[in-house]
Amino acid sequence: MTTMNILWITFDSTKTTALPMFGNPYCRAPNLDRLAGEGVSFSRAFCQMPKCVPSRQSMLTGRYPHTDGLRAMGSKAGVGGVNAHMLLTAENRNILPLLKDRGYALCHKGVQHLVSWDCYERWFDSRMDWDGRFKQCKAPPQTNADPLLARALYAGPVPAEYPLECDHDFEASRQMIEFLEGWRGGRPFLAYLDLRAPHPLYRDWPVMGDYYRDLYVPRPPACPLDQAPWTEAQQRRIYDLEGMTDGQWQTIVKAYYSAITYNDMLLGRVLDSLASAGLDRDTMVIFSADHGDFAGEHGCVEKHDTILYDCHVRLPLIMRFPASSGLPAGILRDGLAEYIDIAATILDAAGISRPGWMAGRSLLPYCRDAALPARDAVFAQGGVEREALIAPDGKGPNIDVPAGRQPTIKELVALSHSDFMLKAKMVRTENHKLIYRLNGHHELYDLRADPHELRNLADDPACAQIRAELAERLVRHLIETETNEPPLASVVA
């Protein structure tokens, strides 16, 4: 296969079931529809941790977060701040230096939830310009006056007079277009555009005319609060949204969809620039997310990395290949895949052999032949170790809340129930999901009978065998993927 350019676009907080090409009849994303029609779509791809920084990092390392210990948010600059050491450094094996060694130019625009600041300057030839126009960017003003909707993180409609050029995602996509239009070739590139929306706050973006204003969407599914698993129940009690009406939940869902549509418009502008520059003939395009979002499901908003429902971990994945590659177009693959597979697929497309330390596997063979076996299970994780939750003075939970600021509702959940933040591991097969928690509040779902994960069967005696089988599968996975750092030069018998 001829070495190809790679354009990789990520939306934050985007779940598979929100997108039209995966069956959603309400959300509009015409440019993603076009991309799916020209590429291969994976309907059951899963991230390995539904948290911004660790998820993005695992996509670059092709390794599970626990293998490298990268399990928390890190400061954006990678210098000072909270958990700066949790960003990728030169010590962490990943695809970026491999691509640079093969002659690739690396470009990044948008959210910098990837690498330490020194590696950002060392590895990326074209970086996000945080000065200039970016300094003029600011979020749209909050226009919502409903206190219950405000508690549900709804900011209201974006005012008609708000210039979209002031939006951070608009500016990041403009910089990516500038890079593509100025590309003069000579070597291949990996260009990575990371957009923030539809991450809450939820806003009604001025897209599709009056489509979303007049649209009816059903209330997302949720079980009664007294039947909810412990972890979900704690979140729902603290957020206190049980009094939300169907109309208010519709407002949240439609705002979430409108942000996806807005980002789809930005994605379309980038794809058009790729074509107008004549680069689409030699460029593989990847679309992914980092994690999902409740957006009303389970009676909740936003997300939490210890809650491992499909709405948080089942994410969209689309790959479009140059016509000269001989890879198919306009097809759907519904086998299980993991987001760590993206790294191995990129290396395969670049003609670089997958290194032995990488747990991900290339999806290119599966793109060519649906008869090839997909994964028999996928895995995800969330939370932190117990000692990390104990404040240095031994008083209260160690939840970072900057001085002088009131805790967010999300932080209040952790402050009120620190066990909520303890480590959790998920194994999911075609038909079942087990979530094993250090706090003892385990969950088991029969995905055939209960695709929305509303009935926890962990304590059902009739499910004891499948729970034991999944637990054994999870233990085996954790042993197979425990850390191999530092690497062994040789084995002493």
Residue 120 contacts residue 127 (beta carbons within 8 Å)? yes
**What does the pLDDT look like over 330-363, one tens digit per residue?**
999 999 999 999 999 999 999 999 999 999 999 9
| pLDDT of 80 above 50 | no
346 with 401, same domain: the answer is no
Specify if 47 maps to a domain.
Answer: yes
- Among 376, 410, 439, give the residue marking a domain's end: 376
324 with 403, same domain: the answer is no
Specify if 109 maps to a domain.
Answer: yes
| pLDDT the model gives residue 74 | 59
| β-bridge pairing 378-382 and 337-338 | unpaired
176 with 281, same domain: the answer is yes
CA distance linking residue 93 with residue 103, whole number of Å: 18
Q: Among 76-80, 104-108, 441-445, 451-455, which is the least confidently predicted range?
A: 76-80
- 79 pLDDT band, cuts 50/70/90, is very low
Mean pLDDT of 265-282: 97
| pLDDT of 301 above 90 | yes
| pLDDT of 388 above 90 | no
The residue behind tokens 């599914």 is: 221
Which residues share a beta bridge with 165? none
Specify if 287 maps to a domain.
Answer: yes
361 with 403, same domain: the answer is no
Q: Among 129-143, 242-256, 440-454, which is the least confidently predicted range?
A: 129-143
Specify if 457 maps to a domain.
Answer: no
Percent residues over pLDDT 70 in the chain = 97
DSSP code for 314? E
- The closest alpha carbon to 232, from 128, 312, 329, belongs to 312
Dihedral, CA atoms, 101, 107, 110, 116, nearest 10 degrees? 30
Specify if 112 maps to a domain.
Answer: yes
**What does the pLDDT look like over 166-192, one tens digit per residue?**
999 999 999 999 999 999 988 999 999
44 with 159, same domain: the answer is yes
* Residue 93 CB-density burial (10 A; 0-12 exposed, 13-18 middle, 19+ buried): buried
- 416 pLDDT band, cuts 50/70/90, is confident
Which domain covers residue 312, as residue numbers? 5-376
Residue 343 contacts residue 61 (beta carbons within 8 Å)? yes
325 with 288, same domain: the answer is yes
| pLDDT the model gives residue 81 | 45
Averaged pLDDT of the chain = 93
CATH of the domain at 197: 3.40.720.10
The predicted model scores a pTM of 0.95
| pLDDT the model gives residue 1 | 53
DSSP string, 249-261: HHHHHHHHHHHHH
How many structural domains does the chain have?
A: 2
- 405 pLDDT band, cuts 50/70/90, is confident
**What does the pLDDT look like over 422-459, one tens digit per residue?**
999 999 999 999 999 999 999 999 999 999 999 999 99
275 with 394, same domain: the answer is no
**3-class SS at 152?**
coil
